[in-house]
């Protein structure tokens, strides 16, 4: 892919590797390798998810470091991986749904928006936002039950009064107490959390990615005018390290925006899925949960766990996007997918 700043055609053209779209992928390799790669990423970042979840359900605001020390003292290192086995079980189907919906939507919406006359930048942002929404909604069919079980295991002994002997026992007890709907507690708020979160993230990522490359283009132009560049009209072709660095920076920026926008919804969702028997005739509800949070600490209570969530999202997104692009290259069918797009 190559682009030049529209408002200044004198800027050097930047030649990026061509995008790999849905039709160019070997689907079986894409899903299998994706599940393996993202399982490793999830395992690395899981302790930050445990910290975030515990901070969200405790009444008193507890610093992240103090919470981590408490977990180590009472449960040892394994305390940071409570519920991980259950979470890992949902990785393959959830990631398959997520990546499939993401690529199909991005490809179809991107094509439609370009035909409607939108610029490449706007078309990419719209396609990425739409893809994020559809991917989140598809994945939540699997992730919500996994979230309910794994989060209850994370806070066991801290807030939840019910004792579970592992993930399978938690599934059984939840179904016995509330039926299948117990596994989908907070499904609506999960959609309200993750759909806009993904839309904001993917749209922000697209805009940040283009803005960074535009900035690099401006810098190259200044170098050329100052005599520091080659002055050739062939443009600039970044190496793989530069491409990965820009992807990582764009992902971190998008994560910060997304975390700030959707953190209150994530806190409400976590409490709905974890806490039983408080208000609403024995069931937690959104209004009751929000009132309790405001009583506990005002708006800041809705942002408990923001630090761990931002760190988790940033590292996860940075690793995810670089791994994701690498995965797409590995899964490309034998065809010429590396030429430049004009």
Assigned domain for 125 exists: yes
For 116-163, how does the pLDDT look when each residue is reduced to its tens digit (9 = 90+)? 988 887 888 899 889 989 998 998 888 889 988 988 888 876 655 678
Assigned domain for 309 exists: yes
Assigned domain for 265 exists: yes
**Alpha-carbon gap, residue 336 to 342, rounded angstroms:** 15
Residue 243 vs residues 13, 38, 179: alpha-carbon distances, Å:
15, 20, 48
For 57-67, how does the pLDDT look when each residue is reduced to its tens digit (9 = 90+)? 776 777 888 88
Model confidence at 342, pLDDT cuts 50, 70, 90, reads very low
**Which one of 36-40, 131-135, 324-328 scores highest in mean pLDDT?**
131-135
Assigned domain for 227 exists: no
β-partners of residue 156 are 160
Q: Would the CA dihedral through 184, 188, 191, 197 be positive or negative?
A: negative
Q: How many domains are contained in the chain?
A: 1
Region of poorest pLDDT, from 200-204, 281-285, 313-317: 281-285
**Alpha-carbon gap, residue 247 to 299, rounded angstroms:** 33
Q: What is the mean pLDDT of residues 78-97?
A: 84
Which domain does 304 fall in, by range? 27-216+239-331
Length of the chain: 342
For 151-178, how does the pLDDT look when each residue is reduced to its tens digit (9 = 90+)? 888 887 665 567 888 888 989 998 998 8
What is the predicted pLDDT for the residue at 134?
92
pTM of the model: 0.67
Assigned domain for 4 exists: no
Assigned domain for 251 exists: yes
Phi, psi of 25 (to 5 degrees): -95, 145
Instruction: Give the CATH number of the domain where residue 306 resides.
Output: 1.50.40.10
Q: Identify whether the C-beta of residue 341 lies closer than 8 Å to the C-beta of residue 19.
A: yes
What is the predicted pLDDT for the residue at 160?
52
Reply yes or no on whether the pLDDT at 282 is more than 70: no
Q: Which two tokens stand for residue 230?
A: 């080659």
Q: Which long-range contacts (CB under 8 A, 24 or more apart) does 119-127 make?
A: 119/6, 120/3, 121/206, 121/207, 121/210, 124/206, 124/210, 125/203, 125/206, 125/207, 126/203
Model confidence at 277, pLDDT cuts 50, 70, 90, reads very low
Assigned domain for 301 exists: yes
For the chain, the average pLDDT equals 78
Q: Identify whether the C-beta of residue 1 lies closer than 8 Å to the C-beta of residue 16.
A: yes
Q: Would the CA dihedral through 91, 93, 96, 100 be positive or negative?
A: negative
Q: Is 25 helix (H, G, I), strand (E, B) or coil?
A: strand
Assigned domain for 225 exists: no
């Amino acid at each position: 892919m190559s682009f030049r700043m529209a408002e200044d055609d004198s800027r050097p053209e930047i030649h990026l590797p061509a995008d790999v779209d849905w039709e160019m992928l070997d689907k079986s390799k894409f899903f299998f390798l994706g599940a393996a790669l993202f399982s490793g990423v999830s395992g690395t970042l899981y302790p930050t998810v445990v910290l975030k979840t515990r901070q969200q359900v405790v009444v008193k605001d507890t610093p992240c470091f103090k919470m981590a020390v408490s977990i180590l003292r009472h449960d040892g290192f394994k305390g940071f991986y409570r519920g991980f086995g259950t979470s890992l079980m949902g990785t393959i189907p959830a990631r398959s749904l997520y990546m499939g919906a993401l690529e199909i939507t991005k490809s179809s919406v991107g094509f439609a928006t370009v035909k409607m006359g939108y610029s490449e930048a706007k078309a990419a942002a719209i396609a990425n936002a739409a893809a994020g929404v559809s991917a989140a909604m598809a994945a939540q069919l699997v992730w919500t039950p996994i979230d309910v079980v794994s989060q209850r295991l994370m806070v066991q002994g801290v807030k939840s009064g019910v004792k579970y002997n592992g993930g399978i026992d938690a599934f059984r007890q939840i179904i016995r107490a509330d039926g299948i709907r117990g596994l989908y507690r907070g499904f609506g708020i999960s959609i309200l959390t993750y759909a806009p979160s993904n839309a904001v993230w993917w749209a922000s990522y697209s805009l940040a990615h283009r803005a960074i490359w535009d900035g690099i283009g401006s810098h190259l132009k200044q170098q050329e005018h100052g005599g520091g560049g080659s002055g050739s009209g062939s443009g600039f072709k970044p190496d793989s390290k530069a491409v990965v660095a820009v992807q990582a920076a764009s992902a971190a920026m998008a994560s910060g925006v997304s975390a700030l926008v959707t953190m209150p919804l994530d806190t409400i969702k976590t409490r709905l899925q974890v806490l039983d028997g408080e208000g609403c005739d024995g069931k937690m509800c959104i209004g009751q949960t929000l009132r309790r949070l405001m009583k506990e600490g005002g708006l800041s209570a809705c942002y408990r766990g923001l630090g761990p969530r931002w760190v988790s999202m940033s590292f996860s997104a940075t690793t995810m996007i670089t791994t994701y692009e690498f995965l797409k290259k590995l899964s490309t069918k034998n065809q010429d997918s590396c030429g430049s797009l004009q």
